[in-house]
């Protein structure tokens, strides 16, 4: 049975009231500019994508041949063009558009717009009032697919507002890896991506989520993400942005609702050209013995502006532990980095919260040492930059880790 119309009506009413509500952070965007709507047909294989789309997808970690994958989801502009599930995981895992899931499961009322507030700002409102699919991924209780699920949200045309709503449910005792690529196949495209993501990790579940963003000079991005983690659950979020973007603003939240729940954010950002980047993470520790960690590495080059935010909020009356580590390098006298760590203890007498934030140049002695070993100055700076951004992100496939490091190295050389 589909989700109830009365519940959907309530969502619409709340969204209507927030249509003009500006976001707390980031530049305000005129959404009326982005009205292009394009319907596309299905494809039988990812091999049937255009060459441009293939190349863009591959750069975000998508395996076109679907080797070593549990399943795939691919969306271009507002249309779902491809979905697949590895036959080995039938009855263990399901993948479909969120639109289809809402039409199939009335119990999604317990998840749809339950974590992210629909009236948070004009971007959540737009996503609710004009939703254009998004993916729904659910792994069944105690199932642990060997390979990751991959998804790609691609924009191919100008003046598109891609308003996706993604839902991932990791049932009790289950484990799941997800690789998501968000990108453009037309480098000069102007538009906006609004990505609502609600993740639910049930008791003893584990979710490892990796997102690669490859945008361009005229594109705006406004993700809104909440993860809810129950008893003994674990959530790891890896985020990589290595290409220019007109503006991006996101502040994902991990809500450690259950006892012994944990969350970790790994963020790698390279600001290029005049990119306006406002990113961060918030971990709310509510359960007993909860643990959180947020690690960010940022480089600002050219005329880019980067806000690196990090919040740790302890609400439990029992013991909890969390640490924030934010480090930045400024490469240009026209670039800016703002490191904004915040620790909040809300009556949490036993909480241990800590942070380390630093912004500084590349150490000259490191450059000089490498030059003394016969390495050119440019190559020395590139090598140090690559090492700084390489977090050795855990739980991602070797090929994707290699791809990220190659892009970091290439980007470092381009920026010199």
Residue pLDDT, tens place only, 207-222: 999 999 999 999 999 9
Please, which pLDDT band fits residue 108 given cuts at 50, 70 and 90?
Answer: very high
Cα-Cα-Cα-Cα torsion 116, 118, 121, 122, nearest 10 degrees, comes to 130
Per-residue model confidence (pLDDT) at position 415: 47
Given a cut of 50, is residue 114 above it in pLDDT? yes
Q: Distance between CA atoms of 409 and 379, rounded to whole angstroms?
A: 10
Q: Distance between CA atoms of 285 and 291, rounded to whole angstroms?
A: 7
Q: Beta-carbon neighbour count of residue 28 at 10 Å?
A: 11
Please, which pLDDT band fits residue 392 given cuts at 50, 70 and 90?
Answer: low
Residue pLDDT, tens place only, 372-389: 777 777 677 667 666 666
Per-residue model confidence (pLDDT) at position 405: 67
Dihedral sign of CA atoms 390, 396, 397, 403 in order: negative
Residue pLDDT, tens place only, 137-155: 999 999 999 999 999 999 9
Dihedral sign of CA atoms 308, 166, 131, 39 in order: positive
Pair 389, 406: CB distance under 8 Å: no
Q: Beta-carbon neighbour count of residue 401 at 10 Å?
A: 19
Nearest 5°: CA angle at 214, between 209 and 218? Answer: 135
Would you put residue 168 in left (φ > 0), alpha (ψ -120 to 50) or beta?
Answer: beta
- Identify any residues that bridge with 277 across adjacent strands, giving them in sequence order: 248, 306
Given a cut of 60, is residue 416 above it in pLDDT? no
Per DSSP, the three-state class of 173 is coil
Would you put residue 241 in left (φ > 0), alpha (ψ -120 to 50) or beta?
Answer: beta
Given a cut of 90, is residue 182 above it in pLDDT? yes
Per DSSP, the three-state class of 152 is strand
Residue pLDDT, tens place only, 61-70: 899 999 889 9
Percent over 90 (pLDDT), the chain: 78
Q: Distance between CA atoms of 116 and 324, rounded to whole angstroms?
A: 23
Given a cut of 80, is residue 247 above it in pLDDT? yes
Mean pLDDT along residues 215-234 = 97
Pairing, β 219-229 against β 191-201: parallel
Dihedral sign of CA atoms 45, 47, 52, 56 in order: positive
Residue pLDDT, tens place only, 115-130: 999 999 999 999 999 9
Query: Which residues are within 8 A (CB) of 255 and not within 5 positions of it... i.e. 6 or more apart?
Result: 115, 226, 227, 228, 229, 284, 286
Per DSSP, the three-state class of 253 is strand
Residue pLDDT, tens place only, 329-370: 898 899 999 999 999 999 999 999 999 988 877 667 777 767
Residue position matching structure tokens 């040492």: 369
DSSP track, 75-90: EETTEEEEEEE-GGGT
Per-residue model confidence (pLDDT) at position 390: 67
Per-residue model confidence (pLDDT) at position 187: 79
Closest CA to 336 of 410, 265, 277, 382: 277
- Interhelix angle 5-17/122-129, nearest 10 degrees: 140
- For the ranges 61-65, 271-275, 405-409, 411-415, the lowest mean pLDDT is seen at 411-415
Pair 220, 250: CB distance under 8 Å: no
Per-residue model confidence (pLDDT) at position 180: 95
Per-residue model confidence (pLDDT) at position 375: 77
Compute φ and ψ for 331, nearest 5 degrees: -100, -10
Average pLDDT, the chain: 91
Q: Beta-carbon neighbour count of residue 269 at 10 Å?
A: 24
Full-model pTM: 0.92
Per-residue model confidence (pLDDT) at position 278: 98
From the number of C-beta atoms within 10 Å of its C-beta (0-12, 13-18, 19+), residue 347 rates as exposed
Cα-Cα-Cα-Cα torsion 368, 374, 377, 381, nearest 10 degrees, comes to -80
Residue pLDDT, tens place only, 165-181: 999 999 999 999 999 99
Mean pLDDT along residues 74-80 = 97
Reported as half-sphere exposure (CB side, CA atoms, 13 A), residue 163 has a value of 21
Per DSSP, the three-state class of 369 is helix
Percent over 70 (pLDDT), the chain: 91
Given a cut of 70, is residue 83 above it in pLDDT? yes
Residue pLDDT, tens place only, 291-321: 999 999 898 999 999 999 999 999 999 999 9
- Identify any residues that bridge with 325 across adjacent strands, giving them in sequence order: 295, 356
Pair 233, 261: CB distance under 8 Å: yes
């Amino acid at each position: 049975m589909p989700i109830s119309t009365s519940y959907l009506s309530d969502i619409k009413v709340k969204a209507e009231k927030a249509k003009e509500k500006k976001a707390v952070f980031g530049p305000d965007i005129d959404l009326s500019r982005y009205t292009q709507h394009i319907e596309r047909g299905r494809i039988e294989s990812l091999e049937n994508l255009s060459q441009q789309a293939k190349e863009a997808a591959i750069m975000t970690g998508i395996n076109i041949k679907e080797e070593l994958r549990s399943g795939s989801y691919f969306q271009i502009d507002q249309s779902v063009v491809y979905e697949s599930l590895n036959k080995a995981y039938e009855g263990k895992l399901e993948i479909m558009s969120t639109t289809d899931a809402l039409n199939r499961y009335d119990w999604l009322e317990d998840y749809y717009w339950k974590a992210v507030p629909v009236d948070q700002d004009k971007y959540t409102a737009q996503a609710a009032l004009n939703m254009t699919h998004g993916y729904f991924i659910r792994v069944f209780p105690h199932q642990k697919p060997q390979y990751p699920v991959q998804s790609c949200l691609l924009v191919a045309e100008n003046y598109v507002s891609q308003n996706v709503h993604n839902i991932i449910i990791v049932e009790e005792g289950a484990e799941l890896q997800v690789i998501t690529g968000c990108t453009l196949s037309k480098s000069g495209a102007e538009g906006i991506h609004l990505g609502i993501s609600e993740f639910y990790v049930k008791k003893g579940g584990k979710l490892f989520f990796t997102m690669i963003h490859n945008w361009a000079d005229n594109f705006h991005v406004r993700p809104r993400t909440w993860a809810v983690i129950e008893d003994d659950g674990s959530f790891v979020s890896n985020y990589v942005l290595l290409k220019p973007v007109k503006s991006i603003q996101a502040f994902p939240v991990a809500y450690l609702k259950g006892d012994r729940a944990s969350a970790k954010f790994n963020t790698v950002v390279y600001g290029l050209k005049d990119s306006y980047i406002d990113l961060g993470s918030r971990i709310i520790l509510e359960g007993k013995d909860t643990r959180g960690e947020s690690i960010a590495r940022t480089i600002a080059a050219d005329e880019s502006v980067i806000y690196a935010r990090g919040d740790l909020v302890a609400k439990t009356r029992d013991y909890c532990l969390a640490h924030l580590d934010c480090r930045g390098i400024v490469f240009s006298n026209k670039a800016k980095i703002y490191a904004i760590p915040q620790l909040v203890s809300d009556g949490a007498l036993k909480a241990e919260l800590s942070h380390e934030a630093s912004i500084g140049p590349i150490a000259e002695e490191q450059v000089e040492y490498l030059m003394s070993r016969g390495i050119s100055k440019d190559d020395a700076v590139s090598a140090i930059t690559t090492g700084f951004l390489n977090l050795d992100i855990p739980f991602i496939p070797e090929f994707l880790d290699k791809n990220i490091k190659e892009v970091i190295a290439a980007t470092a050389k381009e920026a010199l």
